[in-house]
């Protein structure tokens, strides 16, 4: 299932629990932030100067089941 930049951080974590490793690698504390249920991946990535689509591709690559 493809992830979208419009998904909230909480939605991404629910679909891909391993995403926390990727967020934390970039110094993003979004998964443990109180705003995770409201903040989109696009918003979070912008706050850290990251490309949201690249971030999601990395999450998908690292959390895909093979």
The answer to whether residue 2 is domain-embedded is: no
Closest of 10, 24, 14 to residue 55, by C-alpha: 24
Give a yes or no: residue 37 inside a domain.
yes
Instruction: Identify the pLDDT of residue 34.
Output: 87
pLDDT of residue 2: 83
pLDDT of residue 33: 84
pLDDT at 4 exceeding the cut of 70: yes
Note the pLDDT tens digit of each residue in 10-60.
999 999 989 999 999 999 988 888 888 999 999 999 999 999 999 999 999
Structural domain span for residue 43: 9-63
pTM of the model as a whole: 0.88
Count of domains forming the chain: 1
Burial profile 10-33: b = 16 or more Cβ within 10 angstroms, e = fewer: bbbbeebeebbebbeeeebebbee
């Amino acid at each position: 299932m493809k992830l979208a930049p419009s998904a909230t951080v909480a939605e991404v974590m629910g679909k891909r629990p391993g995403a926390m490793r990727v967020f934390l690698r970039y110094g993003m504390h979004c998964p443990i932030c109180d705003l995770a249920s409201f903040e989109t991946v696009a918003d979070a990535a912008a706050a850290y100067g990251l490309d949201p689509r690249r971030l999601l591709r990395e999450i998908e690559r690292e959390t895909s089941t093979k």
